[in-house]
Structure formats: structure tokens, C-alpha cells
Amino acid sequence: MFSKMLIANRGEIAVRIIRACRELGIRTVAVYSSADATSLHVKLADEAICIGGPSPQESYLNIPSIISAAEISDVEAIHPGYGFLAENAHFAEICESCQITFIGPSPQTIRLMGDKIVAKDSMRKAGVPIIPGSVGVIQNKEEALKTAKRLKYPVIIKAAAGGGGRGMRVCHNDIRLVSALLTCQAEAEAAFGKPAVFIEQCVEQPRHVEFQIVADTHGHVLHLGERDCSIQRRHQKLIEESPSPSVDHKLRRKMGDMAVRAAKAAGYTNVGTVEFLVDQEHNFYFMEMNTRIQVEHPVTEMVTGLDLVKLQIELATGERLHLKQDEVRLNGWAIECRINAEDPSNGFTPSPGTVTQCHFPGGPHVRVDSHLYAGYEVPPYYDSLLAKLIVHGATRHDAIRVMQRALEECVIEPVKTTTQLHQRIFHDPTFLRGQISTNYLEQLLGTGEGAA
Amino acid sequence: MTLKEIREMIQLMEEHGLVEIELEREGMKIRLRKAGGTVPQVTMEHIPSAIPSPGAPAPLAAPVPTVKRVTINSPMVGTFYPAPAPDAASFTEVGQTVEEGQVVCIIEAMKLMNEIKSDVKGRVVEVLATNGDPVEFGQPLFALEPV
């Protein structure tokens, strides 16, 4: 087991990783930007090193600074968390060349799955169903129009180097397609460094169902069931649950097998997620693979009883995965709400500032993953996630009752948060019936906010 | 290092007429130096917060010196070297006046030696980092009186 690890991240996930390290007896090194000096992960770690100024470029994306910090603190491993450098193959390579273990899959796998066009192609070759779309990069508007004609409107333009719901645009006709193409290419270049885009069929009223994958370095790959993440705003997840209300045993087996096949085709090791879209007829299509721990991992932890972050660390030491696929059980139902510092009544404007009052719910079957504390000043430079509220129940109905109760107890003031929106959703009949697709939130808000 | 322990150290200094104490523990170093008056100055380096209570009071701040001071802070993470080579003379000594843009020290990061230049003109009153010590971004390296 590692004796010392650096956490190359911040906020709630850095706290999560430090907790796992504590329990495994691993000494922790936190890195932080000058804006995060009072952050909880800095207080909890055994050592803390300031690596740069407030912006992500100066700090959490600053590879030389982070590697330098790893060297002076003499760590054996780096956990990248999610976002920032978690899916940066170059960073993983540098860690390798410095003899520091990167907690995650190999740089080759990260690179393969990071290019969404190449990833889709690998899946197609492996016999994993993919969303109908363009073959390769769209070079110009003629190609775009030809592809759209072959498919059926609406279509979606996506950045090849994108992912996580960013760099996408839905188009309903030729005119829109042509104007969106140039914008998407420019945005892709600016955000991801590569202007390459491709086009996919828009699946009608899809559900976003993803499978948690675990793999060791000895060829043993299995899945830990699915999470339904259909409730999204602008392709950013807001609520996740496991199991999915629309996946029965048969579909779970079929999709699970495909997820494992996808992971094997990618040469996957460690912990990751295969995302699918499921249409109204229960056909499912590979969308992308996330080669990291995900925000919503607690949902799977609550139904399987496993600790995914500890598993990541153990697998990174080369340990064998002893769990067998038929030993994996999804017990009961778990649901997570992402509490963001955003004002839903004001176009979801970010709401940074000092949290003067902070009280989280407790009691049976309630879990809170957060870096908040009373007196903490939420900085404006990073994402708006304040806390994850996760509940468990014997049935979906029971879990919903716990969440309704827990949301009422939750106090975060005076910053504006999405708590009240969550309350509204958890009393909405459509949600209670489990009839959700990725258009759900847009329809509930009635403002076209749900999808970009 | 708790507030209580620091107070005890200050009291020890008073009782025995000590001018300076430096204490080093794993991952942490504290130096207490008595200034001209009766109130000892406190400088702490690399405080890893072992106290996980967010409601705890903020760490001690050094009392404000009477003469205006500026610091040259580290622009990167690495290892501090005051001289260009192990047996060479230091770039910067106490009492010396440095110009803006003058090289004041080396910080080694990832096997590369980076020359650190002063962003102010001033007279060096204190060297705040020690040869071979790890330094973080923003860490004060030299205290200067601007001229």
C-alpha cells in the first residue's frame, strides 16, 4: 500500500479521497490555489502545498507545479479526482515517468477514450452498439449537411475532445446546422484545444443510463450496475439514482455485458464508467466512457456497499479484484442530489460568497459529501458544487421519502442553492412515477433550460 | 502545534530571557524571535493543519513590525537555494540592496534550476527561507525595506 499520496484536486472530491486515504493509513498531501487556502481539504490533509494563483490554469491545471509539489513532498501516488487533470493522458504519462503512480487507467486508455470519435470507432469494432452518426471528423458544411440528411433531424454536433456534456449543440434544420458548425468548432478549439467535431443522431426522449466498471490489471473486469442520470440541466447532471427505474433484470444483464465488453475493448483498468443512451424502445447506445471516478459514485456505493475510492487505490497497487460478477448485488435504492451554489429563480446564476449558516441533514440512510463549513467562503473560480446529498431506501418510494425529509433539514445560507428546486422535483408526480428522460427538467421548468 | 503550546514557548522565553527559539517537527517548523521590545515575534512555516475543526480560530499572525516591509514571494513550488552552487557565495545577504530584476536566489523545480528575480528594489533585512528547504507558491523568501 502507498505510504503517501498527493490529491490533485479540491472541494468535496479532495475531501472524499483524503477520507479513503486516512482509513487506508496513507499520509495525504493537499495542493491548493491561493483562493483555496481556507478550504476543508487543506485543513484535513497531513500536509498542504500552495501551488499557484486562483485560476485553474495557475493551480489545479498547472502540471509543473503539481509535479513539483509531488516531488518535494515525496509522494508515491497522485489521485486526480474528477475534472481538472483526471482525464489528461499527458499528466498521467508525466506521473509515470516520475515513478509516481497515477490512480486511474493507463495513459493509452485515457487517450483512446478521450477522443470521442476514436472511442466510438473502437466500440463499433468491438460490437458495442453506438449512436448513429458521422464517420469521423466533419470537415466542412457540405459533409455536415450530407450526414444530417442520412440521419434524421434533430442531430447534435459534438466536440471530439469534449465530453462531460460540454461542447455540444442540438440542431433541428439545415440552416441551424451550418451556423452551429462553425461556432462548435471555435468553441471546441477554445475549450479543448482541438476544433474537431462530429455529428450524431439525437435520440428522442432518451434516458442517460451509465454503468460503473471496475477492472484490475490481471484482465478481470466487472460492472457494479447502473445509475440513471437523466435529470440534467444543459447536460450537467443534477440528480442521479441507482438502480434505474427503466432498467429491468434482463436489460441490466444485456447492458452490463456490453459495458464490460466496452471496457475490455479499451483495455480498461481501475475504476471507470460507460455511459449509454436508452431510447423509448429500450434500445441502448454507447455514448462515451469516463476514465475516472465520477461525481455520482456515492450512489453506487450506497447500493453495493463498496468503497469505490478505496478500490481505486487498492487496484492501483496491482491488487487483484476478488469480487465476482454474480456476487454484485444492488440492494435497495439510492438517490443523489447535487447541491450547487446557483440561483434557480434567477437563471441559475452562480452564487459564490461566504456561507454563514451550514447545517446538513443526518439520521438513518443519509450521507452528505461536502467541503462546506460555517464561515467558509465559496470562491468564484471553480465549479458550483457545494454538497452531494445521498439517501438510501429499501424501495425507490422509501428513498424519495428520505430525500424529501433530508432536503427540508438542509440549511446553507445566505448563498443561493438548488435545494428548493430539488424539493420541487421530489414532489413532482412525473418524477415520483419514474417517468424521466433527459428532457424532464426542461419540461418541468418550462423554459427550455433543460437542454442547450 | 496548538495555541497553548505556542503561549507556553513564549512564556519559557520570558522566564529564561531567551531571544530566539526554533522548533522543528515532522513537516513543520516554528521560529519565535524576541523583537526589540518585550513582545516576541512569531513566524511559522509550512503549517499543515492537523486540527480538523473548521470552527477553530485562525493561525497566529506575526505582529506588525514598525518599519514598512515588503517580501519577495516564491512564484513556484520547489526547493530553495540561496546560492548558485553549494560552495558559492549567496546571491543575497542581509544588509544588501537589491535592484528590481536582480537574481536573488534559485528555486529548483523538476530538476530545473530557476533563477528568481526580485520584483522590488530594497534593502534585505531578513532571509526567510533556508538552504535546501521546500517552498510553496506565494511563500515569503526575503524581507526587504523598500528604498
Evaluate whether residue B58 is within a structural domain: no
Q: Do A411 and A271 belong together in one domain?
A: yes
Query: Are A288 and A388 in the same domain?
Result: yes
Q: Are strands A27-33 and A4-7 parallel, antiparallel or unpaired?
A: parallel
A426 shares a domain with A332: yes
Contact list, B136 vs chain A (CB under 8 Å): 49-51, 69
Do A234 and A263 form a contact (C-beta atoms < 8 A)? Answer: no
| pLDDT above 90: residue B56 | no
For residue B60, is it within any domain?
Answer: no
**Domain membership flag for residue B12:** yes
Active site residues of A: 292
Do the domain assignments include residue B50? Answer: no
pLDDT at residue B4 in the model: 78
Q: Tell me, yes or no, whether A115 lies in a domain.
A: no
Mutate which of A68, A95, A357, A358 to disrupt the B interface (most B C-beta within 10 Å)?
A68
Strands (E), A111-215: 155-163, 166-171, 197-201, 207-215
Q: How many degrees, rounded to 5, is the angle at CA A23 between CA A17 and CA A29?
A: 45
- Is residue A108 included in any domain, yes or no? no
A226 and A145 housed in the same domain: no
> Residue B54's pLDDT band (boundaries 50, 70, 90)?
very low
Last residue in a domain, options A201, A224, A245 = A201
Residue by residue, pLDDT tens for chain A (452 residues) are: 999 999 999 999 999 999 999 999 999 999 999 999 999 999 999 999 999 999 999 999 999 999 999 999 999 999 999 999 999 999 999 999 999 999 999 999 999 999 999 999 999 999 999 999 998 899 999 999 999 999 989 999 999 988 777 778 999 999 999 999 999 999 888 888 899 999 999 998 899 999 999 999 999 999 999 999 999 998 899 999 999 999 999 999 999 999 999 999 999 999 999 999 999 999 999 999 999 999 999 999 999 999 999 999 999 999 999 999 999 999 999 999 999 999 998 989 999 999 999 999 999 999 999 999 999 999 999 999 999 999 999 999 999 999 999 999 999 999 999 999 999 999 999 999 999 999 999 999 986 444 43
Same domain assignment for residues B74 and B141? yes
Residue A45 and residue A18 in contact, taking contact as beta carbons nearer than 8 Å: yes
Q: Are strands A4-7 and A77-79 parallel, antiparallel or unpaired?
A: parallel
Nearest alpha carbon to residue A65 among B31, B33, B109, B131 = B109
Q: Which amino acid is residue B120, in one-letter code?
A: V
- Checking ipTM against 0.90, whether it exceeds it is no
Final residue before a domain boundary, out of A201, A223, A239: A201
> Do B127 and B81 share a structural domain?
yes
Asked whether residue B103 is domain-assigned, the answer is yes
Distance of CA B26 to the CA centre of its chain: 17
**Pairing of β B103-109 and β B78-81:** antiparallel
Which residues of B are less than 8 Å from A71 in CB distance? Answer: 110
Most B CBs within 10 A among A22, A72, A354, A355, hence the mutation to make, goes to A72
Which domain does A53 fall in, by range?
4-103
Print the domain residue range for B108: 70-146
Q: Is A171 domain-assigned?
A: yes
Distance between CA A290 and CA A212 in Å, rounded? 10
> Please, is A364 exposed, middle or buried when counting C-beta atoms within 10 Å of its C-beta (0-12, 13-18, 19+)?
exposed
Inform me whether the C-beta atom of residue A46 falls under 8 Å from chain B C-beta atoms. Answer: yes
Q: Is residue A119 part of a domain?
A: no
pTM of the model: 0.85
Backbone angles phi, psi at A444, to 5 degrees: -65, -45
User: Number of structural domains, chain A?
Assistant: 3
Indicate yes or no: CB of B54 within 8 angstroms of CB of A373: yes
Same domain, B141 and B76: yes
The domain spanning residue A169 has which CATH number? 3.30.1490.20
- Residues in chain A closer than 8 A to B78 (CB atoms): 68, 72
Beta bridge partners, A211, equal: A226, A274
Count: domains in chain B? 2
Is position A271 within any domain?
A: yes
Asked if B136 contacts B110 with a C-beta cutoff of 8 angstroms, the reply is no
